[in-house]
Structure 1
């Protein structure tokens, strides 16, 4: 099992630790879609009892990341295009409004965070560190929501975004035409700085629609990761 063992956080319960370990490895595609998981194997790997592993399995199944099939076993869920499409719809609907707010009024300290984040994104591009770029991408969008006092809205979106984010991770980890992502982030920061609502909304619409055009190429190269054949996003 090609996974990364993470450190347990102080005051974190065993169930929370197992959940975080599994979700991290699923989202980073170290546990690939369709692969089987064993309670016994995970408990031995982490040195914990099987009960917190079972509880983590249940929680991850509720987030559509694991399929628990009675009498058959537990499997990392295949990427479901209907799930991706619904998440994309939610992000498009909500984030264009949030970006409009950001382009009207945005705290200077959060703008500085966005600009600092951009500098690190450029460094990751130079070093071809696409996994770190993904983390910075997530933090970039979260900062916009937080700056607009919509942190809880961001958390709600993230609960639905598991399949959508695996597609994005697959895209970035493979280095599939990541440059436009960075350029669009720069345009978003410019729009927020200049209070240009039209530019901000136009840019976020193009930005979130990128996955629509990437999905066919990703499917071609990783057909076994997807639930549907010939996936198409609306």
Structure 2
């Protein structure tokens, strides 16, 4: 295998060809829809670090004026997913390891409390367990052939269901707002052999503990699950030096 490039300058210039024309819902504001479309393509690595995002070209592609595109890019900048150079260019940012570690710390602290509550509050766990198992089934269906987008969506919905059941939905969106760098790191690691299957097993263990109303087991399963989230950072840093910082 050839050595990984040391800098983005050694890579072929990335383009925005991965951005498909977006059919906007005219009953909603355009900027949030453009933001979500671009964010999804950045976190899935369809738009790789170093990709220039020309405002005028994006406006043409989305069939809107430059104003909602500008607003969407500014919001992406707030999440650290793009670097904005005024009067020059907006570029998809490199993956910030330090930001990813901070976001992971926040998520782990919140979700440990959430699963402990859900497994120990005495409420009937059956409705939540049914929802969680549905998401696990979706993940299993995405394993062969591997459908990364479907698998990631089911994974996200599994964890969102935990926040919703605990009445903590706003905290989910806080975590999501800070998780862009984590999402990109995980995307780089998801193709690793056995990784997706391990995620499914972890989700099953969390669900089983909630069903058994065992908060200690639920927190242990959640801790084990999230322990693997960024355990591969050193390997990613070595293999994708041009795409990460820190």
* Structure 2 CA distance for partners of 1:174 and 1:180, relative to 1, 3 Å: closer
- Aligned pairs (5 A) from 1:9-48: 9-48=25-64
Whose helix proportion is higher, 1 or 2?
A: 1
Q: Which residue of 2 aligns with 1:190?
A: 208
Task: Report the RMSD for the aligned CA atoms in angstroms.
Answer: 1.8
Q: Deviations over 1:160-207 (max 9, x none)?
A: 111112212222256672221111001001001111212111111111
User: Normalized against structure 2, the TM-score is what?
Assistant: 0.86
Q: Which residue of 2 aligns with 1:232?
A: none
User: Normalized against structure 1, the TM-score is what?
Assistant: 0.90
Alpha carbons 1:19, 1:57 under 8 Å: kept: yes
Question: Matched residue of 1:100: which SS?
Answer: helix
Could you tell me how far apart the structure 2 residues matched to 1:210 and 1:150 are? Answer: 24
Is 98-107 or 136-145 further displaced after alignment? 98-107
Which of these residues, 75, 79, 86, is aligned with residue 70 of structure 1? 86
Q: Which residue of 2 aligns with 1:217?
A: 235
Q: Which residue of 2 aligns with 1:181?
A: 199
* Structure 2 CA distance for partners of 1:174 and 1:30, relative to 1, 3 Å: farther
* Stretches of structure 2 lacking an aligned partner (at least 5 in a row): 1-16
Which of these residues, 186, 194, 207, is aligned with residue 168 of structure 1? 186
Alpha carbons 1:80, 1:163 under 8 Å: kept: yes
Q: Does 2:87 align with 1:96? A: no
Could you tell me how far apart the structure 1 residues matched to 2:28 and 2:193 are? Answer: 34
Could you tell me how far apart the structure 1 residues matched to 2:178 and 2:138 are? Answer: 27
Is 85-94 or 215-224 further displaced after alignment? 215-224
Alpha carbons 1:4, 1:25 under 8 Å: kept: no
Could you tell me how far apart the structure 2 residues matched to 1:27 and 1:6 are? Answer: 17
Could you tell me how far apart the structure 2 residues matched to 1:18 and 1:109 are? Answer: 35
Could you tell me how far apart the structure 1 residues matched to 2:33 and 2:191 are? Answer: 25
Alpha carbons 1:131, 1:169 under 8 Å: kept: no
Question: Matched residue of 1:74: which SS?
Answer: strand
Question: Matched residue of 1:68: which SS?
Answer: strand
**Number of positions where the alignment pairs a residue of Structure 1 with one of Structure 2:** 228
